[in-house]
Chains A and B, each alone.
Chain A
């Protein structure tokens, strides 16, 4: 695992999200109303919708395509839907955000 600096929590609007581009696809980084940060795959388990574009409420996001609600903590679909996205380890050092990626991601030229 390698930690990558991705910026400051203040770069993300409250109850909003930004994307981080990686060779393995986009990662969505969220900031909740309580100023917590979470990182998950930017890819809804239902039809691949970009979760970073959804409405953030409590510790969940509603996918913009078909309104699945995904937990930012567990990556799992809430309510009656079934499915999960990968959660990505995120470190918050006084606002400076880092995410951990598998080192094999780096090896891929």
Chain B
């Protein structure tokens, strides 16, 4: 026989309680929920990112409608319970629905505290509690007028940062001398104030609000010193009060909150209470971690396990404002029996303070650098005697006991019971054992199974490090990284789906793969454009608006908005006629700088955009085509003089370089592709740090690939040795096509090769003749459409609009 469980309130605490209960006793109860808010259970901690625009409401839903249906739970949305009849065991909603219960859970949460000042009821005065408040703030922010936030605590500052980010002129009024005085000491409060002021938020501390003024709507705030702060929006974030009215009327024991025992039971044996409305051990709570602990305890009792008990523990605090690192824990007031260790780095904006009592940590404040927060929390929780490490304690865990400064080492060194996720109270051991036990491989899996990093997300980095520790090389966070914020799919998945579904336009890809934005972003659009150019060279119409400016105007943008132009010089070889033509162009257009590049080309810098077509026209007359020095495509083939001139040369390296360049120019690749051919192993063309290189030897041509000489420096790997020039060209072209078809956009060949495996590449290019020929043929086909000189196209009038202003206005008529 199922019992009837009724829950009043549908916030995060009862939501979590139900998850536990469904796990422990899936069929014991028939559950009915009354939610005063007209919606499902969402992550209230994430309202600030919704306000700032970093998240959408849909992304912060914890339980969608489907979850309630799946578990047979009845959810009354927008029903406020107005009466509890304890004798009849019924509750009644404001819409007149009456439900009987065997067991009742009260989770009415809290209500924002409203300052009892004149004008508090004026339109334009709001609180910051639920999604309706956020929507009201977003609406008000459209005006971009002035807003005042009363309250410089956690919520108030998140609201202020969000409103400022939305374009409002924000002033924060705080009654205490420094911000977040309950979580921060004055020094950290000062740093925070400076940071926020740097972002354009005005802060007034020791500000006592006397009245909210306005005629029919808010016009400003009057302080008790007589100052008036103008505002069209006032957000009150001065604290919360447990919502206990209903419980009180029902005759339950109520103090500040609804009084419950350590099993979350109220003074009535059929009624439990949890969340912000509950008072346990004389304390009420507002942070999510203890509320989730209450949920765990209440679920155990409802499932019949009467031994579970709620125990108080300090919860670290973090501020969810992008770019502000702040951590606070425990008690950090000064005292005669206390000692403190302080580290300040003014230049870096770092402040750290650890408060000790009897050689044990009782409080910690970290500002600017919070990576050691978990470690300090662990030391405090365990009451570790820190006298041995006092000298270096403040520098953090990495400096203890000569441990190496490897970022992984710090995580590896954490004990199993160290708390990683503060919101959900998940420790390292639980995460590691769940990854291993359930064979988890993705961050989303770990979130789903352990709840770690599933609430505020600030521990995501730590969780990923644990995954790397547990799974080793097989987990690379990049492997599950979405292309960008517009999709959850990674590059490889997108490439595979483009082929599988035959998607041939960017809108088709976005539609079929359910892009989350209307027209993508500057990250995904160039990538998609490349994938389509590569996969459908004959059918796809290149979308210039999805190309980076350099590839759109076929020149390189410089810091001052001018462009540089690099004509192609095959294999780095030129002659007097070409040089004369360049010299004439330099004089005619007064080009300020002429420079020789690392790829054996001549770079003309400082050309105005409007002049580009004329510059190209003159260069084109001398036989030059674009050097594509801007392209994610074939750039240069650098050569040495080889057997024609050099006494050591073994083959015609210059000739081979020119041949490769003439064969491959114009091709687009995932990232830039630079090559070189050296005539002997002395390697004067520096071929062994190129994307693809050739070292000529007496017996033939040694083909190299996967070198790097930029952010990373890496010598090439040998692909193999071939005997003739024809074979060398075929192998190089096939390798390039394999890279074109498989790599992720902006992934250089050495990164792709590392991911795919060198042996696999050798197998497909060196050993598998059919594969190699097929790659070669596909490249040749694609070149039919790619080998069009973009400069001469534009000289003939293509994309004219790119190079001319739309209009010239505001000058005196005579100037025309």
Binding site for B on A (CB under 8 A): 4-7, 11-16, 18-24, 26, 29, 32-34, 47-50, 53-58, 62, 64-65, 67, 69, 74, 76, 78-80, 82, 99, 101, 105-106, 109
Contacts and interface: CB of A to CB of B under 8 A. Distances in A.
A21 B808 CA distance: 5
26 contacts: A4-B810, A5-B807, A6-B807, A7-B806, A15-B545, A16-B545, A18-B801, A18-B805, A20-B806, A20-B809, A22-B809, A22-B811, A29-B806, A33-B519, A48-B561, A54-B522, A54-B549, A55-B522, A56-B545, A57-B521, A57-B525, A58-B519, A58-B521, A65-B557, A78-B53, A101-B809
A4 B809 CA distance: 7
A13 B806 contact: no
A108 to B, nearest CB: 9
Contacts of B810: 4, 22-24, 101, 105-106
Interface in B540-571: 544-550, 553, 557, 559-561
Contacts of B518: 33-34, 58
B55 to A, nearest CB: 12
Pick the 4 closest A-B CB pairs, nearest first. A62-B522, A18-B806, A6-B807, A55-B522
A13 B553 CA distance: 14
B522 A49 contact: no
Interface residues of B, number: 39
B244 to A, nearest CB: 40
Nearest to B806: A18
Nearest to A99: B809
B557 A64 contact: yes
Chain B interface main SS type: loop
Contacts of A69: 521-522
B144 interface: yes
Max chain A C-beta neighbours (<10 A), residue from B165, B553, B561, B812: B561
B806 A11 contact: yes
B693 interface: no
Contacts of A76: 165, 167
A77 B187 CA distance: 30
A20 B557 contact: no
Nearest to A102: B810
Contacts of A21: 805, 807-809
B511 interface: no
Given A7-B807, A20-B806, A57-B519, 8 more contacts: A6-B806, A15-B546, A20-B809, A50-B557, A57-B517, A74-B144, A78-B53, A82-B198
A80 to B, nearest CB: 5
Contact of A82 (B199, B808, B812): B199
Max chain A C-beta neighbours (<10 A), residue from B323, B549, B557: B549
Contacts of B521: 55, 57-58, 62, 69
B384 interface: no
Contacts of A55: 521-522, 525-526, 545-549
A58 B517 contact: yes
Nearest to B811: A23
Contacts of A58: 517-519, 521
Contacts of B553: 53
B787 interface: no
B530 to A, nearest CB: 14
B49 to A, nearest CB: 12
Nearest to A77: B165
Contacts of B560: 48
A5 B807 CA distance: 8
A11 B801 contact: yes
A19 B609 CA distance: 11
